[in-house]
Chain A
Amino acid sequence: MNVSDQQAEIVKSLLKITREEELNCNELLEVIGEYAEKKLSGQPIDKTLEPVEHHLGLCRECEEEYEALCKALQDIENL
């Protein structure tokens, strides 16, 4: 097994934001619509949605899907 310095740095960065309790990708799917709507309309993100923000900082796939969702919602909004 071979972990480069840069990858070890990434692991450290991940540890920095690791929490005991985190949303998983499926749980995120249930609330990401609400989160995206609030973000797009400039509304504040309340406590119940904060774990969404945290998960997006850890999970590239959900982050990528969230960006795509925002594009879709903006487009549909502009219909």
Chain B
Amino acid sequence: MVTYPVALGGEQGKLLLLMDTWQDRLGEHHPERSEAIVELRAILLRGLKSSLSGRHREDSANLEDIAQKALLKILENLGTYQGRGKFTSWALAITIRVAYNDIRARHWNNVSLDYLKEQAGDSIPEESVSSTSPDVEAQKKDSLELVRRMIQTDLTTRQQDVLLAALNGMPQEEIASQMGTNRNNVYKLFHDGRKALKRAMEQRGYSRDMLYDSPDTGTYDQTYAQTYVEGGHS
């Protein structure tokens, strides 16, 4: 059992307690643990209120539930805090993830992966206006065709599922729960799939420049984000 400075008694003990970190104070045997939990919960709630204003506004009962769920997770994972940034920033990051997992799960509640696979690509209008030359257009068309073919031939079924679901805006937690796995594994499938496609395209003679003549990052962010916000099922 850890011996806490309060055992020293008197002014020396009080002074040492003041120097304790959040991690110390939240530790199982710390004399101020209950106070620390109350303080931290108040910070998490406040953070939730400001981060979930706007389109993700939640009622206060929900916020209390999320804060409680997050608090348990933080206490369970206390030992994993590496001191990178303030403890409260780390705790808030966990809390926000808990909150968004909840919100996303409710939003995607009735959408199945199979449905998304059938819908894939249908909900997004094709680009029709182009200011580039016919040669560049033809090359671009070829590269898009190649991407489609490689998705079919060079990805495993699970990698295809993750990619298609992600392209249709399904969040990773939802993909994970429908595939019976977790967000980390979904990210790994997404990452391994991208690496396989990249290798496959380069092996087929597509140089970096030819392959990556795609829109700049701004456009990518915009279209990807738009797909995400609109989802594939509204």
Residues on A facing B (Cβ under 8 Å)? 1-18, 20, 22, 24-26, 29-37, 57, 59-61, 64-65, 68-69, 71-76, 79
**Interface assignment of B151: CB less than 8 Å from any CB of chain A:** yes
Measured CB to CB, the closest approach of chain B to A32, in angstroms, equals 5
> Among the listed A11, A13, A30, A68, which residue makes an inter-chain contact with B163, where contact means beta carbons less than 8 Å apart?
A11
Q: A60-B225, A76-B46 are in contact. Are A3 and B215 (CB under 8 A)?
A: no
- Residues 27-65 (chain B) with a chain A CB within 8 angstroms: 43, 46-53, 56
Are A11 and B167 in contact, CB atoms less than 8 angstroms apart? yes
Instruction: Output the least CB separation between B213 and chain A (Å).
Output: 8
- Complex: how many Å from CA A76 to CA B147? 45
Are the C-beta atoms of B198 and A33 separated by less than 8 Å? no
Chain B binding site: helix, strand, loop or mixed by DSSP?
helix
15 more CB-based (< 8 A) A-B contacts, given A10-B220, A61-B104: A3-B148, A3-B151, A10-B223, A10-B227, A11-B151, A12-B214, A15-B198, A16-B214, A17-B217, A20-B195, A25-B172, A37-B86, A59-B187, A71-B53, A75-B50
Q: Are A9 and B120 in touch, CB under 8 angstroms?
A: no
Distance between A8 CB and nearest chain B CB, rounded to angstroms: 4
Complex CA distance for A40 and B173, rounded to whole angstroms: 28
Q: A29 touching B127 by the CB < 8 A rule? A: no
Q: How far is the CA of A72 from the CA of B66 in the complex (A)?
A: 15
Contact partners of B94 in chain A: CB under 8 A: 29
Whether A73 pairs with B124 at a CB distance below 8 angstroms is no
Determine how close the nearest CB of chain B comes to the CB of A69; give it in whole angstroms. Answer: 5
In the bound complex, residues from chain B placing their C-beta under 8 Å from that of A35 are: 85
Do B160 and A6 touch across chains, with their CB atoms under 8 A apart?
no
Contact of A12 among B48, B120, B147, B187 (CB under 8 A): B147
Q: Contacts A18-B194, A20-B195 hold; do A73 and B92 have CB atoms under 8 A apart?
A: yes
B89 within 8 A of A: yes
B167 CB to nearest chain A CB (Å): 5
Residue from B56, B197, B214 whose CB has the most chain A CB atoms within 10 Å? B214
Known pairs A1-B164, A30-B84; A6 contacts B127 (CB<8 A): yes
Known contacts A29-B94, A65-B96, A68-B52; is-contact A2 B121 (Cβ 8 Å): yes
Contact A16–B96 (Cβ < 8 Å): no
**Nearest Cβ on chain B to A38's Cβ, whole angstroms:** 8
Determine if B89 and A36 form an interchain contact, defined as CB atoms under 8 angstroms apart: yes
Q: Mark B170-200, 1 if CB is under 8 A from A, else 0.
A: 0111000000000110011001001101100
Asked if B82 CB lies within 8 Å of chain A CBs, one says yes
When chains A and B are docked, how far (Å) is the Cα of A17 from the Cα of B197? 12
In the complex with contacts A1-B152, A14-B194, A68-B52, A7-B121 CB distance below 8 A: yes
